Amino acid sequence: MYISGFYAVLDREDEALARSLIDAGAKVLQVRVKPGDTRDIVRVAKMARRVCDETGVLLVVNDRVDIALAVRADAVHLGQTDLALPDARAIAGDRLAIGLSTHNLHQVESAVAQRPDYIAYGPIFETATKQNPDPVQGIDALRVAVDAAGTIPVVAIGGITPANARSVYATGAAAICAIGAVNNAADVGAAARALARV
């Protein structure tokens, strides 16, 4: 699974937002609807699948292997408290790529041993997206995580804005994921393009 540049997250049922993120250069679109019941998530994921099919963008479903399979997503993204990666692989086989969230070097090293298709790492800076965020890691720790990941692409996440994106890319991170700084911007396209082209 090729990961590079701006990694977008669709956090609501909003086709216009999905298209704006993709038009601005996102090559990956993750459906992450919280809170949301299963039917809500499926409805958003089906819409995102249609938009991604039309635009050639990869679709990722957050947390839910079952929904990812049901909507023919390209990948599922798992958190530290979600289904274990080996169990997800046993269910999905080769039908889904798998991304794994990590929040410290120990988790990165553990993830590398399991060979996910990519690793998300953060939060790099303070973030308001999560109610109970993990401790801020910072740029230096991100650089170490990228080195530890080796050939596995790292997606940096957490508090990233156009103002600090250049320093994030300088660590060797393959991609940047920003939710609030893009989805809640007055000009979503401009914010996304700023992250995609740094």
Residue 198, pLDDT score: 56
Which pLDDT band, with edges at 50, 70 and 90, does 196 fall under? Answer: confident
Active site residue 101: yes
Residue 197, pLDDT score: 66
Active site residue 143: no
Tell the burial category of 6 from Cβ atoms under 10 Å away from its Cβ (0-12, 13-18, 19+). buried
* Contact assessment for residue 6 and residue 183, using Cβ atoms and an 8 Å cutoff: no
Which position among 27, 32, 49, 64 bears the catalytic label? 32
Residue 63, classed as helix, strand or coil, is: coil
Neighbours of 46 (CB within 10 A): 15
Q: Quick one: which H or E segment has residue 81?
A: none
Domain 5-197 CATH assignment equals 3.20.20.70: yes
Which position among 34, 115, 130, 197 bears the catalytic label? 130
Burial letters for 108-137: b for 16+ Cβ neighbours within 10 Å, e otherwise?
Answer: beebbeeebbbbbbbbbbebebeeeebeeb
Which pLDDT band, with edges at 50, 70 and 90, does 35 fall under? Answer: confident
Active site residue 32: yes
Which position among 20, 27, 64, 101 bears the catalytic label? 101
Single pTM value for the model: 0.94
